[in-house]
Amino acid sequence: MPYALCFLLFMLGLYCAVVKKNMVKIVIGILIMEYAVNLFLVMLGFRVGGIAPIIDRAQYDPVIQQVAAGFVNNSVDPLPQALVLTSIVISLGSLALMISICIRTYEKYGTFDITQIRRLKG
Amino acid sequence: MSIPLPLFIAVPLIIAFVLPMFGRKGKAVATALANMVTISLLVFAVASIGKTEVYEIGKWSIPLGINLVLDGLSSLLLLAINVVAAAAMLFSIKYMEQYTAKTKYLSLFLLMVAGMNGVVLSGDIFNLFVFLEIASLASYALVGFGCDHEELEASFKYMVLGSIASVFILFAIALIYGNTGTLNMAYISKAIQNSGLNAGLTFALAMFMAGFGLKAALVPFHAWLPDAHPSAPAPISAMLSGVLIKALGVYSLARIIFNVFGVSVAVGWVLITLGVLSMVVGVFLAVGQWDFKRLLAYHSISQMGYVILGLGIGALILANNGKVEWAAMAILGGMFHLVNHAVFKSLLFLTSGSVEMSTGTRQLKELGGLAEKLPFTRATCTVASASIAGIPPFNGFWSKMILVIASVQAGFLWLAAVTVIVSLVTLISFLKIQRYVFLGELPENLRQTKENKGFMLIAMVFLACLCLLMGSLVLVPGLKESILEPAVKVLTDGLNYSANIIPKL
């Protein structure tokens, strides 16, 4: 069920990016898609009632001199979280560039409406 | 001599962030430094031919760490990227003087090169995505570099479609991670071989094809390319059309399909369909264009169709367990055409830049009779046009001939016919360029036109010589075995890729 909602969010973003005429709304649509994918990545590693994937003294088993067996089975997967951090940074970079191009375009054309920004044809 | 693989990425990346510090006064130094980087990368790429190497970043062994893989296919792509980058950088020395903020341009250029080198070397699928984004972001900014009406519009369009493609690719990576639990390509491939394709992985493959198809501008995903490529400054058009769509689109697609997922009949037919559509639609849209660079951009779509067609025929034969030699022939045609296209298309864009710089326009109807005024540009443009149209002895002829032979061998006579017809239409549209730009009457306002000498000329002549000599890549026996065959072998070996990368216990 959460995956279906996540996919719905992705589709909403795609719809927004494809259908809307306002440049800023298109950018928002792309961002919604990116957030949906980030959410999906985090959910892949999520585990109900899981613990943070950090080994501290509580997880250390003094008898067998290594990490307790329950740790691997209970902790959430840390890798998707690292991936999401990376992808958030990337989408931040592309957002900054997209918005600055929107602003420059507004200065040139005086509108955000893409149906009126049509110098390129053919 | 063995070159440490991270240098291909680290050198341009570091220098890219050093260059903006030079500011306006140190422009000459910055230009020289950037040229040194691209030329030394070219030397590295030549030195890395024929080597197979796996580099583990930070000594973390896979699958815990990230690895860089140099194999035949990567080194072929590295060579193409760095040849075109070196030529485009030489060309930029003078060409980019008409823009302000040249150091920022150089910095973005090197970022793009670093991103592309990273894409072709990466053995980790998320790492591939990160480098793909580096190269894409730099290219979005470079397309809008002029900050004029058309450039901003094209850049926005390119950026929206490019971002959607990136999101698709990231989504597919997430699906793969969810299904296989690893991000290393070799381990993903092994997991897929063990468990077979399930619905999630098939969906991921479809998302990859849509995402990389958008990056490679295959029809029906081509809408951004004819706007974006002409709007960029000429050396950047050369980079975008010459190597960016190949490294980001075709290379990644080939790697994912052949080495990670494994070929299937359905995928083979999808590739053939995309290839034929791109070839035919691209070329017919190109003939009607009156803008020099826009015409070239449509031809990029069409020529990428050839490459995808070759890969598709190869995939189909491999999936049907046909003769491996036939599949290898088709893939050889595709790969050879990829390299050839990198050279002649970037040359064509550089000549268009030279014409634009001398005359101030790129509308074919406003040009004419420049053959005497721009003799060198004319000569190199003719060489490149002959190459793209497939006239012997230039390089385009050999790769197209291999593709025709391969499709006849595989029993697809109609594909061979389409290939030849598209080639003829290509010839017509390049005769149009010759007729309207270089022959005919010289307009009154172009009497003062002067040839561009110096580095721009060196870059163009260098690429023109390559066009002439690259036929030897298949004709001279030793070269074929050391450069093209390893790349083809990586693809025909398919899923053995994972066995080669994963260390034996």
Return the axis-axis angle of helices B185-195 and B149-180, rounded to nearest 10°.
Answer: 50
Give B-chain residues touching A102 at CB under 8 angstroms.
Answer: 156
Give B-chain residues touching A23 at CB under 8 angstroms.
Answer: 156
CB-based contact (8 Å) between B178 and chain A?
A: yes
pLDDT at B236: 94
- Determine contact, residues B486/B71, Cβ cutoff 8 Å: yes
Q: Is B223 exposed, middle or buried (0-12, 13-18, 19+ CB in 10 A)?
A: middle
Confidence check: pLDDT of A12 > 70: yes
pLDDT digits (tens, 9 = 90+) for B317-356: 999 988 888 999 999 999 999 999 999 999 999 999 999 8
> Which of B8, B219, B4 minimizes the C-alpha distance to B113?
B8
> Which of B280, B246, B197, B312 minimizes the C-alpha distance to B80?
B246
Are the Cβ atoms of A44 and B177 closer than 8 angstroms? yes
Confidence check: pLDDT of A122 > 70: no
Confidence check: pLDDT of B3 > 90: no
Instruction: For chain A, positions 27-86, list CB contacts with chain B under 8 A.
Output: 27, 30, 33-34, 37, 40-41, 44, 79-80, 83, 86
**Which residues, in sequence order, are CB contacts of B323 under 8 Å at separation 6+?**
B317
| Cα of A94 to nearest chain B Cα, Å | 7
> Which of B242, B392, B380, B400 minimizes the C-alpha distance to B307?
B400
Give the architecture (CATH level 2) of A2-109: Orthogonal Bundle (1.10)
Are the Cβ atoms of B149 and A26 closer than 8 angstroms? no
Distance CA A42, CA B455 (A): 51
Q: How many CB atoms lie within 10 A of CB B491?
A: 26
Q: Could you tell me the pLDDT band of residue B26, with boundaries at 50, 70 and 90?
A: confident
Are the Cβ atoms of A37 and B141 closer than 8 angstroms? no
User: What pairs with residue B122 in β-bridges?
Assistant: B68
Which of B127-136, B146-155, B165-174 is predicted least confidently? B146-155
Which residue type, as a one-letter code, is found at position A54? I
pLDDT digits (tens, 9 = 90+) for B226-238: 989 988 999 999 9
Distance CA B206, CA B208 (A): 5
- Determine contact, residues B214/B164, Cβ cutoff 8 Å: yes
Q: Could you tell me the pLDDT band of residue B404, with boundaries at 50, 70 and 90?
A: very high
Query: Two tokens at B431?
Result: 């005769």
Distance CA A52, CA B146 (A): 49
Average pLDDT over chain B reads 90
Q: Smallest Cβ distance to B140: which of A79, A97, A122?
A: A97
User: Among A9, A84, A94, A103, which would you mutate to test the B interface (most chain B Cβ atoms within 10 Å of its Cβ)?
Assistant: A94
ipTM summary value: 0.92
Q: What average pLDDT does range A2-16 have in this prediction?
A: 92
Distance CA B123, CA B111 (A): 20
| Count of pairs with CB atoms under 8 A, one residue in A, one in B | 92
pLDDT at B505: 55
Give A-chain residues touching B166 at CB under 8 angstroms.
Answer: 90, 94
Q: Smallest Cβ distance to B160: which of A26, A93, A108?
A: A26
Confidence check: pLDDT of B465 > 80: yes
| Cα of A15 to nearest chain B Cα, Å | 11
What proportion of chain B, given as a percentage, has pLDDT over 90? 61
> Domain residues of chain A, as ranges?
2-109
**Which residues, in sequence order, are CB contacts of B28 under 8 Å at separation 6+?**
none
Which residue type, as a one-letter code, is found at position B282? G
Confidence check: pLDDT of A70 > 80: no
Give A-chain residues touching B164 at CB under 8 angstroms.
Answer: 14, 17, 30, 33
User: What pairs with residue B363 in β-bridges?
Assistant: B291
Are the Cβ atoms of A40 and B171 closer than 8 angstroms? yes
The gap from C-alpha A56 to its chain's centroid, in whole angstroms, comes to 30
CB-based contact (8 Å) between B60 and chain A?
A: no
Give A-chain residues touching B159 at CB under 8 angstroms.
Answer: 94, 97-98, 101
Q: Could you tell me the pLDDT band of residue A95, with boundaries at 50, 70 and 90?
A: very high
Distance CA B26, CA B47 (A): 31
pLDDT at A121: 62
Q: Could you tell me the pLDDT band of residue B140, with boundaries at 50, 70 and 90?
A: very high
pLDDT digits (tens, 9 = 90+) for B430-462: 999 888 888 888 888 878 888 878 889 999 999
User: What pairs with residue B124 in β-bridges?
Assistant: B184
Instruction: For chain B, positions 110-129, list CB contacts with chain A under 8 A.
Output: 126
Q: How many CB atoms lie within 10 A of CB B447?
A: 9
CB-based contact (8 Å) between B107 and chain A?
A: no
Are the Cβ atoms of B152 and A105 closer than 8 angstroms? yes
CB-based contact (8 Å) between A23 and chain B?
A: yes
Are the Cβ atoms of A119 and B147 closer than 8 angstroms? no
User: Among A8, A38, A41, which would you mutate to test the B interface (most chain B Cβ atoms within 10 Å of its Cβ)?
Assistant: A41
Are the Cβ atoms of B177 and A17 closer than 8 angstroms? no
Give A-chain residues touching B160 at CB under 8 angstroms.
Answer: 17, 26-27, 30, 98
Q: Could you tell me the pLDDT band of residue B195, with boundaries at 50, 70 and 90?
A: confident
